[in-house]
Amino acid sequence: MSDRIAAGKTADKGATRADEVRLAIEEDIFLGRLRPGTRLDEESLAQRFNISRTPIREAILQLVHAGLVEKQPRQGAVVAPLKLHRMVQMFEVMSEIEGLCARFAARRMSEEEKQALKHLHDTSKAHMEARELDAYYAVNRSFHEAVQAGSHNEPLQEIARGLFARLAPYRRYQLNHPNRVKDSFTEHDDVVEAILAGEPEAAYAAMRRHVTIQIDIFTEFVSIMGGNEIQ
C-alpha cells in the first residue's frame, strides 16, 4: 500500500497513488532534493515509486499546474527554473498578497488567533536568541501561515500558498545574509503589534515592508551571482 511510496509525509486515506506521488515530489522540490532544472523522467519515477507511469503522469500534471514543474509537449517535464525578472515579479505580488492578508487579519482575527500569533512570535524570539536558524525559519513559516489564515479568506490563502510554494526553493538563499534573522524578527514585531492593535493599514504596511526587504536581499544575492537563471 503506502509502503510503495518511499518518501514524504503519508497521504490521506482516500488519496490516490497520484496524490501520494505528487506530495513526495513536492517535498523533494521544497527540500532541495530536486533542484530547479532537473528533468523528471516518467519511467524512472515509476520505478522509484514502484507503480505504473499513469499515476506518475497525473502527479506531474498537477505539479505543472501548481507552477512547480514545467512541461512541453513531447519534451518531458523539468522542475521549474524561474527566470530572474519573473521571480522578482512574484516577490512583488507576494508582498502585496501578504500585506493584504495582514490587513484582513488585523480586522478579522479572533482573540484566540491573536494569542496564537503572539505565541508563535515569542517562540521565534527564543529561537533567534538561541541562534537556532532552522527552528527559527520553521516558526517563521508558521507565522506567515497564521497571518494568512487570519485573513479568513480562503481564495486569498490559496494564492498566498501557491506563491510561497513556487518561491520556496529559492528562499534558502537569504538564510546567510548578515543580521537577517534579527531584522526579520523586528519586522515581524511591527506586524504583530499592528495586528494585535487591530490596525489594518499599519499591518498592511508592516507586512509589505517585511516581504519587500526579502526582494532586496534576493536581488542583491542574484547580482552577486550574476546569473539570469538560478538553479
> Cα dist. 104→108, 154, 187, 194 in Å?
6, 12, 18, 11
Binding at 155: pick from DNA, its own copies, none (beta carbon under 5-8 Å per type): its own copies
Q: Does 18 bind DNA (CB under 7 A)?
A: yes
Long-range contacts of 190-199 (CB under 8 A, 24+ apart): 191/102, 191/147, 192/117, 192/118, 192/121, 194/102, 194/106, 195/102, 195/105, 195/106, 195/109, 195/114, 195/117, 195/147, 195/150, 196/114, 196/117, 196/118, 197/106, 198/106, 198/107, 199/106
Q: Which is nearer to DNA, 77 or 109 (CB)?
A: 77
Q: Does 17 bind DNA (CB under 7 A)?
A: yes
Q: Which is nearer to DNA, 24 or 40 (CB)?
A: 40
Interacting residues toward its own copies by CB under 8 A:
14-16, 19, 54, 57-58, 61-62, 65-66, 72-74, 86, 89-90, 92-93, 96, 100, 153-156, 159, 163
Binding mask 21-60 for DNA (x = CB under 7 A): ------------------xxxxx-------xxxxx-xx--
| Strand locations in 147-214 (E) | none
Whole-number CA gyration radius for the chain:
19
* Beta carbon of residue 186, minimum distance to its own copies (angstroms, whole number): 27
* Beta carbon of residue 164, minimum distance to DNA (angstroms, whole number): 27
Residues making contact with DNA (CB under 7 A): 14, 16-18, 39-43, 51-55, 57-58, 71, 73-77
